[in-house]
Structure 1
Amino acid sequence: MTGSLFIITAASGTGKTSLVKQLLATTNDLTVSISHTTRSPRPGEIDGHHYHFTDVDSFVKAIGENKFLEHAEVFGNYYGTSEQSVRSQLAAGIDVVLEIDWQGATQVKKIFPDATTVFILPPSIDTLRQRLSTRAQDTSEVIERRLAGAVHEMAQYVNSDFVIINDNFEVALAELKALIIADRQTLARQQQRYHRTISNLLNKPAAE
Structure 2
Amino acid sequence: MLTFILVVLMLFLVPGPAVFITISQTVKGGIKTGIVTGLGLAAGDLIHTVAAVAGLSAILMTSSLAFEIVKYMGSAYLIYLGIMAFLERSKKEPKTAKKPLLPTGIPSFRQALLIELLNPKTSLFFLAFLPQFVRSDGPPVTIQLLILGLTFVVMGIVYTTSLVLLTSSIGSKFFSKPGPASKWMGKAVGVVYIGLGLKLALQTQD
TM range (shorter): under 0.3
Which one has the bigger helix percentage? Answer: 2
Q: Normalising to structure 1: TM-score of the pair?
A: 0.25
Which one has the bigger strand percentage? Answer: 1
Please tell me whether Structure 1 or Structure 2 has the larger radius of gyration of its CA atoms.
Answer: 1
Say which structure, 1 or 2, has more relative contact order (CA 8 Å, 6+ apart).
Answer: 2
